[in-house]
Amino acid sequence: MNDHTPAAASTAALTWERISEAVSSCTRCPLCQGRRNTVFGVGSREAEILFVGEGPGEQEDRQGEPFVGRAGQLLDLMLAAVGLSRRRNVYIANIVKCRPPGNRDPLPEEQEACIGYLRGQTSLLRPKIIVCLGRIAACRLIDPEFRITRQHGQIFERKGILMTATFHPAALLRNPGQKGDAFADFLMIRDRIGEVCERTELVYE
């Protein structure tokens, strides 16, 4: 019988297929009860840049892919503006893989139950840069006290990986006045890609 627990995943060799199977059958927290689909991640498994959101919303839950609703469309536009795309040269995932009801923030215990999957994805991908989309991802991955309005666009380093955070695209839809700051963050990210990424080719369509 297949054992899909994270413990089993850690003793067997880590592969994308093993993590993906473990996620799709996961019952580690109550979010599994309300999901239509798990939302594993999307993008190139060769990417040197990893974007991390907080968790799936309604459209993502329906389609099983991160950032496919209105916020996702804005994210795709901002990526395209700096030569990036989910089809080609970035990977996109979330802190939690199942939709929190009513789009509330994922609870600390839900994040804790799920974070091992993102860790597995990160160790397979070995990104040069991780970009947190919004406060929840930044607090989880960079600093529990992270203040997005004050610290967005700053660069941190954790275990040899550059880390930064910018505004969540859903927040930008609510507060369009922050789009200029977010765009400046994306330009800074593009410059850093030029400095630290070896394989990433920026493509402007």
Region near ligand URA per CB under 6 A, out of 29-37, 48-56, 104-112, 117-125: 48-56
**In the bound complex, what is the minimum distance in angstroms from residue 169's beta carbon to ligand URA?**
7
178: which DSSP letter? G
56 binds ligand URA (CB under 6 A): yes
Q: Which residue is nearest to ligand URA (CB)?
A: 53
Provide the minimum distance between the beta carbon of 48 and ligand URA in the complex, in angstroms, as a whole number.
21
Kindly tell me which of 66 and 127 has the beta carbon lying closer to ligand URA. Answer: 66
Asked whether position 55 contacts ligand URA by CB under 6 A, the answer is: yes
CA–CA separation, 191 vs 185, rounded Å?
10
According to DSSP, the residues that pair with 163 across neighbouring strands are 130, 156
CA atoms within 13 A on the CB side of 67: 27
Q: Contact with ligand URA (CB under 6 A): which of 6, 57, 116, 120?
A: 57
Burial 111-146 (b: 16+ CB within 10 A, else e): bebbebbbebbbeebebbbbbbbbbbbbbbbbeeeb
Site for ligand URA in 64-123 (CB under 6 A): 66-67, 71-72, 94
Half-sphere exposure of 101 (CA within 13 A, CB side): 6
Q: Which three-class secondary structure state does DSSP give residue 104?
A: coil
For ligand URA, the closer of residues 99 and 128 by Cβ is: 99
Q: Which parts of this chain interact with ligand URA (CB under 6 A)?
A: 53-57, 60, 66-67, 71-72, 94, 170
